[in-house]
Amino acid sequence: MKSAIFLVLLAVAYAAAEERKLFNGDKVYRVTPTKLEHLEWLKERLHSGDAAFDFWKDPTVLNAAVDVHVAKSALENFEKDLEKMQMEHKVNVDDLQKLINKVDAVSHRRRRDNRANIVGKFARYSEIIAWLTELCGKYSKIATCDVVGKTFEKRDIRYVKLSTGPAADGKEKRIIFIEANIHAREWLSSATAIYLLNRITSTYESDPTAKRMLDTYDFIFVPLINADGYEYSQTTDRMWRKTRSRRTGVRCVGVDPNRNYDMSWGETGSSNSPCTEIYRGPSPFSEAETKAMSEFLKPLKDRILGFFTLHTYSQYWLVPYGDKEGHYCPGYDELLRVANIGTKAIMMDVNKKTWQAGNTVALLGEASGGGDDWAKMIGIKYSYTLELRPGGNAYNGFVVAETEIEPSGREIWAGITAAVDAMKP
């Protein structure tokens, strides 16, 4: 117990002492492996734990584009190796820090215009918690705030339950569960979840769709799972992905929480090296965040009809399983039918963005230990990962402006409500 407390205090002190990481001169490449040697070379760097290489889209199969952020110090050798192997490539971002600065400048201007409301903004953790508390007070007839559990650094993982009471027959309603920001740098995911939460509460009395949703189902939102990592990405390292857990004798910090669930844990698409971005952890549910989420979800599994975990980026509606090629979840055809309805609603009714629905491995690649796979495995009928904007061909990846939040929210509102309407309890 004393050692655990010491590690938490050490983590807080360490974070306070760190300076903001800059990415001056770093580039983001899009490379396309067309030969097996290309793919293996990229995978070696993915699993090496070398901090000079940060994969935004992992190498999975031949002829699938890979996005990789390369530190300035490694550029010369990286370019030489690409040329030597004759691997197709282009520079998507010529200077990552300049892109971040440009996007931040837009955000700062918008925040000066409206300091009070965090909807449509990439808010800090404390601002999100304060807003959730205010929302539950304002809409106390339908909204209840509570805590899923604690992060490694002892931050609350907050949730909001929306309910108008029992169903007409007096029974408890089925639940639609929406979670976000399990990966720290995917800021658009939590901002989109906040948009959805604001929309359904603020328009319940005036919008027939919002009223139909809440009169039929209870909703639970967990807008910020990886609160430690998210706050660290806000203050210190914009590209941070993992949790912020520390272990005695381990130099590198954190675990990929979406490789830490007990579903095909430790298999393909994850790593046993603590310094990699896809480190699965020493054991399933080793992370405070995933352990808390699993303990919260299990008692509700028979009531949850739809489970949505929001990520970025690629504009994919992913259907389990994602642990290995050809491993489709039970009822896959039904899940795909509903997913196609959701993507069609996004493409036809809102911003005309192109979305694809399909199996996780087919669209994104292998990734064992994911939360959506685990949710499906424990018996939740409809379980999905939504990879939000930008699309897979966009150059900016995780670094999006706050002006993208509202259109993302409108897309996902249209997609999720259409999908929920199509679900068969």
Q: Which of 153, 387, 402, 404 is catalytic?
A: 387
CB–CB of 183/258 below 8 Å?
A: yes
CB–CB of 84/92 below 8 Å?
A: no
Between helices 125-138 and 227-235, what is the axis angle to 10°? 130
List Cβ neighbours of 320 (8 Å cut-off, separation of 6 or more). Answer: 328, 329, 332, 335, 359, 360, 370, 372, 373, 376, 383
CB–CB of 361/324 below 8 Å?
A: yes
387 a catalytic residue: yes
Cα–Cα distances (Å) from 289 to 8, 151, 160, 190, 425, in that order, read: 14, 5, 17, 15, 29
Strand order in the sheet with 316-319: 143-150, 156-162, 218-222, 175-180, 304-314, 382-391, 316-319, 356-359
CA distance 205 to 187: 29
Enzyme catalytic residues:
387
